[in-house]
Amino acid sequence: MAARARASEDKVAAPRPPVHEEVYAAIRQGLVGGSFVPGRPVTLRGLAQLLGVSPMPVRAAVTRLVAERALALTSTRRISVPTMTAERFDELVRTRILLEGEAAQRALPFIDAERLAAIRGHDRRLEACLAAEDVEGYMSANHAFHFAIYRAAPSSVLVPLIETLWLQFGPFMRLVYERLDMGAIVDQHERAIEAIAAGDALRLRAAIEADIGDGMSIIGKAALAG
């Protein structure tokens, strides 16, 4: 009897997060994946219909994302990606290099063989998406590669800040990758993997910083050119 009771308890599903948290997570994922196209606004009601929820949790999620500067909300309740200027782009790139280089260096002591294998797997998936010209898959794998490194070390401040920066870049990354020959993008990931395998934190930091600098240079030229 007791065994059956425990088995029954094991089958009980974990409670779902509140709807507004699910909506917030879905919109964040859409921003990182480039689902929000710069210059193409949507309404709160339209987004609610797309997500299959009422406008209230969408409004709450959008309010949070506006505060994070990932979205802009007009007086007519239209949602759009904030305008990117050369000055803002330059500041975002510099901040990414500073924070992500630091996060990678701090993470190295926590990257064990299992995590390194996962990082290699993300890079293999990225390469396959490059070969297939799969923009959405490329962006997903690239995000997974970077955050598998950054999240190795416990962080309640640094990694959330980096996540906010990626939210602001996502729409522009998607827009530009669709215009470019993706095979021409310089891949610094192998250098990062080699540094991790060698236990060299400074080399890992340099590889991540170079990866950001190379990629953002290409993206900046295309995105700011309109």
Quote the pLDDT of residue 99.
98
CATH number for the domain harbouring residue 43: 1.10.10.10
pLDDT tens-digit series, residues 184-208: 566 799 999 999 999 999 999 999 9
For the record, the structure tokens of 32 come out as 């990182």
Asked if residue 185 and residue 98 are part of one domain, the reply reads yes
pLDDT digits (tens, 9 = 90+) for 110-126: 999 999 999 999 999 99
Q: What was the pLDDT predicted at 65?
A: 94
What CA–CA distance (Å, rounded) separates 67 from 183? Answer: 35
Q: How many domains does the chain have?
A: 2
Residues 64 and 131 placed together within one structural domain of the fold: no
- Do 64 and 113 lie in a common domain? no
Is the domain of 117 the same as that of 9? no
Structural domain of 46: 2-80
The span from the CA of 43 to the CA of 8, in Å, is 44
Number of C-beta neighbours around residue 2 at 10 A: 6
Tell me the three-class secondary structure of 93-132, residue by residue: HHHHHHHHHHHHHHHHHHCCHHHHHHHHHHHHHHHHHHHH
Side-chain-side CA neighbours of 195 within 13 Å: the count stands at 20
Whether 95 and 45 share a structural domain: no
Specify whether 126 is located in the same domain as 204.
yes
pLDDT score for 180: 61
In this predicted structure, the answer to whether residue 171 has a pLDDT above a threshold of 70 is yes
Give the separation between CA 43 and CA 73, rounded to whole angstroms.
Answer: 9
